Amino acid sequence: MSNASKEAPFPLYKNKGKRTFEEGFASVTSLLRGKKNILVLAGAGLSVSCGIPDFRSEDGLYSMDASDFGLSSPEELFDLETFDYDPAPFYKFFKTYFQKVDVKPSISHNFLALLDRNKMLRRIYTQNIDGLEEMAGVSLNKIVHAHGSLRYASCRVCRHRVRTSEIMDDIESGKVPLCKRQKETKKKKRKLNCGGVIKPGITFFGEKLGDEVGRSLEADYSEADAIIVIGTSLSVAPMNKIIRYFPCNIPRILINRNIVDVPQNKINEATDLNHNDIDFRDAYMFDVHLLGNCDAITSALMKAMDFILEENLQKVNTINHFPSACSIPLSLTDKNRNIIERTLLFHGAQIPEIEVKASSNSILDTLKCDQKIYCDACQQQILPGTKVMKCLKCFNFDLCFNCYSQKSKTHFNGKHRFIEDTNCFIDND
**How far is the C-alpha of 69 from the C-alpha of 170, rounded, in Å?**
18
136 near 295, Cβ under 8 Å? no
**How far is the C-alpha of 356 from the C-alpha of 363, rounded, in Å?**
6
Least Cα distance to 230 among 127, 159, 145, 319 occurs for 127
Domain boundary assignment for the chain:
21-52+103-147+207-365, 152-202, 373-428
Which pLDDT score, from 0 to 100, does residue 242 have? 85
* Backbone torsions φ then ψ of 201, nearest 5 degrees: -80, 40
Q: Where are the alpha helices (DSSP H) in 228-313?
A: 242-245, 266-274, 294-304
Instruction: Give residue 283's region: left, alpha or beta (phi > 0; psi -120 to 50).
Output: left
Which pLDDT score, from 0 to 100, does residue 193 have? 80
Please identify every residue annotated as catalytic: 147
Can you tell me whether residue 34 is helix, strand or coil?
Answer: coil
Least Cα distance to 383 among 370, 395, 394, 393 occurs for 370
Which pLDDT score, from 0 to 100, does residue 81 have? 86
pLDDT in tens, the chain (429 residues): 333 334 455 778 887 667 788 888 999 999 999 899 999 999 888 888 887 766 666 666 666 777 777 788 877 888 888 899 999 988 888 887 665 545 788 899 999 999 999 999 999 999 888 888 998 999 999 999 988 887 889 999 888 999 888 998 898 888 999 998 887 666 666 677 888 899 988 888 767 777 788 889 989 999 999 999 999 888 777 777 888 888 888 999 999 988 887 655 544 444 444 444 566 776 678 889 998 889 989 988 998 888 865 443 333 333 333 443 344 444 444 456 677 778 888 888 876 544 333 333 333 333 233 456 778 888 777 877 778 888 877 777 788 888 888 888 888 788 888 888 765 433 333
47's enclosing H/E stretch is none
Radius of gyration of the chain, Cα coordinates, nearest whole angstrom? 23
Amino acid at the residue 380:
Q
Least Cα distance to 300 among 40, 19, 26 occurs for 26
Domain 21-52+103-147+207-365 in CATH 3.50.50.60? no
Which pLDDT score, from 0 to 100, does residue 314 have? 37
Q: End-to-end distance of the chain based on CA atoms, in angstroms?
A: 19
Other beta carbons less than 10 A from residue 398's beta carbon: 23
Dihedral sign (CA 401, 406, 411, 413): positive
Correct CATH for 373-428 of 3.40.50.300, 3.30.60.90, 1.10.3720.10, 3.10.20.30: 3.30.60.90
Amino acid at the residue 267:
I
